[in-house]
Structure 1
Amino acid sequence: MGASQEADRLEGETVELLQTLIRNACVNDGSEGSGEEHRNAAVLTALLEGSGVDLERYEPAPGRVSLVASVDPPRPDGPVLVYLAHTDVVPVSPEGWRRDPFGGELVDGEVWGRGAVDMLNLTATMAVALRHLLARGRPPCGLVYVAVADEEAGGHLGAKWLVEHLPLLRRVHGVVSEFGGMPLRTPSGATKLPVVVAEKGVNWTRLVVHGRPGHGSQPFGADNALAKAALVVQRLLASEPEVRVLPVWEAYVAGLGLPPELTEALLDPAGVDRVLPELPQALAAQAHAATRATFTPTVAHGGTKTNVIPDRVELEVDIRILPGEDPAEVPARLAAALGDLAPSVEIDQRHRDPGSESPTDTPLWHALARSAQQIVPGSELLPFLVAGGTDSRFFRALGVPAYGFGLFSERLPLGDFQAMFHGNDERVDVESLRRSAELFAALPGHFADLAG
Structure 2
Amino acid sequence: MPRTQAPATGSAADTIALLRALIREACVNDGSVGSGQEIRSVRVLQRFLADAVATGRVETHVLESAPGRASLVARLRGTGTGTGTGTDPDAPSLGLLGHLDVVPVDPDGWTRNPFGGDLIDGEIWGRGAVDMLYLTAAFACVLRDAALAPEPPRGDLVLIAVADEEGGGEYGIHWLVRQHPEVVRVTEALSESGGMRMGRHVAIEVAEKGSAGRRLVIHGKPGHASIPYGAKSASYRVGEVLQRLGEVMPAAQLGPLWNAFVSARIQDPALAERLRDPVRLDAALPHLGGIAGYAHAVSRITMSPTVLRAGMTHNVIPAMGTIDLDIRTLPGTTDAEVDHLLRVVLGPLADDIEIEHLRGWAATTSPSDTPLFAAIERAVAAVADAPVVPIMAAGGSDARVLRELGIPAYGFGLLGPDWSYERYREGVHGNDERIDVESVTLSLAALQRIVADRLA
Q: Common fold, TM-score beyond 0.5?
A: yes
Alignment CA distance shift 1:6-1:426 (3 Å): closer
Structure 1 letter corresponding to 2:62: R
Alignment CA distance shift 1:139-1:234 (3 Å): farther
What is aligned with 2:191?
177
Paired with 2:214 and 2:130, the residues of 1 have a C-alpha distance of 27
Paired with 1:330 and 1:63, the residues of 2 have a C-alpha distance of 38
Alignment CA distance shift 1:134-1:277 (3 Å): same
Q: State whether residues 97 and 161 of structure 2, in contact with CA within 8 Å, keep that contact through their aligned partners in structure 1.
A: yes
Deviates more, 1:207-216 or 1:36-45: 207-216
What is aligned with 1:188?
none
2:144 pairs, out of 127, 131, 147, with: 131
Say yes or no: does 1:298 pair with 2:303: no
Per-residue deviation, 1:194: 0.6
What is aligned with 2:180?
166
Give CA-to-partner distance per residue, 1:206-231, whole Å, 9 cap, x none. 44444455443333443333333233
Alignment CA distance shift 1:215-1:197 (3 Å): same
Q: State whether residues 153 and 455 of structure 2, in contact with CA within 8 Å, keep that contact through their aligned partners in structure 1.
A: no
Per-residue deviation, 1:362: 1.1
Paired with 1:11 and 1:310, the residues of 2 have a C-alpha distance of 60
> How large is the RMSD of aligned CA atoms in angstroms?
2.5
SS of 1:331's equivalent in the other structure is: helix
SS of 2:273's equivalent in the other structure is: helix
Structure 2 letter corresponding to 1:439: A
Q: State whether residues 73 and 183 of structure 2, in contact with CA within 8 Å, keep that contact through their aligned partners in structure 1.
A: no
2:157 pairs, out of 143, 158, 167, with: 143
Per-residue deviation, 1:343: 5.3
Q: TM-score, normalised by structure 2?
A: 0.88
Per-residue deviation, 1:94: 3.2
What is aligned with 1:406?
413
What is aligned with 1:386?
393
Deviates more, 1:391-400 or 1:29-38: 29-38
2:80 pairs, out of 71, 75, 79, with: 75
Output aligned runs, 1:39-118, within 5 Å: 39-52=40-53, 53-76=58-81, 77=89, 78-118=91-131
Output aligned runs, 1:169-208, within 5 Å: 171-185=185-199, 191-208=200-217
SS of 1:168's equivalent in the other structure is: coil
What is aligned with 1:424?
431
Give CA-to-partner distance per residue, 1:114-161, whole Å, 9 cap, x none. 222211221122112222222224234310110111212222221122
SS of 2:250's equivalent in the other structure is: coil
SS of 2:443's equivalent in the other structure is: helix
SS of 1:428's equivalent in the other structure is: strand
Alignment CA distance shift 1:130-1:195 (3 Å): same
SS of 1:247's equivalent in the other structure is: coil
Alignment CA distance shift 1:99-1:228 (3 Å): farther
What is aligned with 1:242?
251
SS of 1:425's equivalent in the other structure is: coil
Alignment CA distance shift 1:259-1:113 (3 Å): same
SS of 1:218's equivalent in the other structure is: coil
Q: State whether residues 26 and 39 of structure 1, in contact with CA within 8 Å, keep that contact through their aligned partners in structure 2.
A: yes
Q: State whether residues 160 and 184 of structure 2, in contact with CA within 8 Å, keep that contact through their aligned partners in structure 1.
A: no
Give CA-to-partner distance per residue, 1:267-319, whole Å, 9 cap, x none. 1111211211111122x112211110001122334443444434444433221
Paired with 1:265 and 1:107, the residues of 2 have a C-alpha distance of 43
Alignment CA distance shift 1:66-1:208 (3 Å): farther
2:330 pairs, out of 298, 311, 322, with: 322
Deviates more, 1:37-46 or 1:91-100: 91-100
Q: State whether residues 254 and 299 of structure 2, in contact with CA within 8 Å, keep that contact through their aligned partners in structure 1.
A: yes
Structure 2 letter corresponding to 1:36: Q
Paired with 2:320 and 2:50, the residues of 1 have a C-alpha distance of 53
Q: State whether residues 177 and 184 of structure 2, in contact with CA within 8 Å, keep that contact through their aligned partners in structure 1.
A: yes
SS of 2:454's equivalent in the other structure is: helix
Per-residue deviation, 1:113: 2.3
Paired with 1:102 and 1:220, the residues of 2 have a C-alpha distance of 55
Structure 1 letter corresponding to 2:44: V
Alignment CA distance shift 1:104-1:7 (3 Å): closer
Give CA-to-partner distance per residue, 1:399-445, whole Å, 9 cap, x none. 22111011111242221101232233222112111222222222211
Q: TM-score, normalised by structure 1?
A: 0.89
Paired with 2:66 and 2:184, the residues of 1 have a C-alpha distance of 22
Paired with 1:99 and 1:334, the residues of 2 have a C-alpha distance of 44
What is aligned with 1:225?
234
Q: Where does the alignment leave 5 or more consecutive residues of structure 2 unmatched?
A: 82-88
Paired with 1:352 and 1:216, the residues of 2 have a C-alpha distance of 37
What is aligned with 1:448?
455
Paired with 1:158 and 1:422, the residues of 2 have a C-alpha distance of 20
Paired with 1:204 and 1:430, the residues of 2 have a C-alpha distance of 39
Output aligned runs, 1:363-378, within 5 Å: 363-376=371-384, 378=385
Say yes or no: does 1:355 pair with 2:363: yes
Alignment CA distance shift 1:109-1:202 (3 Å): same
Paired with 1:38 and 1:345, the residues of 2 have a C-alpha distance of 45
Structure 2 letter corresponding to 1:424: N
Structure 2 letter corresponding to 1:64: R
SS of 2:361's equivalent in the other structure is: coil
Deviates more, 1:199-208 or 1:51-60: 199-208
Paired with 2:232 and 2:323, the residues of 1 have a C-alpha distance of 17
Structure 1 letter corresponding to 2:286: P
Per-residue deviation, 1:446: 0.7
Deviates more, 1:29-38 or 1:147-156: 29-38
Paired with 1:218 and 1:9, the residues of 2 have a C-alpha distance of 76
What is aligned with 1:267?
276
Paired with 2:450 and 2:383, the residues of 1 have a C-alpha distance of 11
Q: Where does the alignment leave 5 or more consecutive residues of structure 1 unmatched?
A: 186-190
Q: Aligned residue pairs: how many?
A: 439
